[in-house]
């Protein structure tokens, strides 16, 4: 049991930076109807939490250890839960991994 009420959207956040996870959780939970039910520091943990907790939304960092956000999103889609998987690449000093500054995101349903 997640502990979230039935009228709240349940969310799992996955990012290898604890400070970013904490800030994102605070931002999400400041909105009515949203509840973070799980946090993960890598893609494997995120996949296990999504499978166990059955959130409606998974927010995934692209650059994570063990299983990156792309691979985690593919694995989550393979579970056929119908949730939205959103990947987020946060800016790093000097730009992102592909050398373009700023936040990049995409979403898919699976």
The string of DSSP codes covering the chain is -----TTSEEEEEE-S-HHHHHHHHHHHHTSTTEEEEEEESSHHHHHHHHHHH--SEEEEESS-SSS-HHHHHHHHHHTT---EEEEEE---TTS-TTS--S-EEEEEE-
Each residue's pLDDT tens digit, 7-60: 899 999 999 999 999 999 999 999 999 999 999 999 999 999 999 999 988 888
Taken in order of first residue, the domains within the chain and their CATH numbers are 9-109 (3.40.50.2300)
Q: Which pLDDT score, from 0 to 100, does residue 61 have? A: 87
């Amino acid at each position: 049991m997640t502990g979230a009420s039935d009228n709240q959207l349940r969310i799992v956040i996955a990012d290898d930076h604890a400070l970013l996870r904490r800030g994102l959780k605070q931002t999400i939970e400041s909105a009515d109807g949203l509840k973070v039910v799980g946090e993960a520091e890598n893609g494997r943990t995120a996949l296990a939490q999504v499978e166990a907790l059955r959130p409606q939304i998974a927010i995934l960092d692209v650059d994570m250890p063990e299983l990156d956000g792309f691979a985690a999103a593919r694995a989550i889609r393979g579970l056929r839960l119908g949730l939205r998987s959103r990947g987020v690449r946060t800016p790093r000093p000097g730009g992102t991994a592909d050398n373009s500054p700023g936040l990049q995101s995409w979403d898919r349903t699976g």
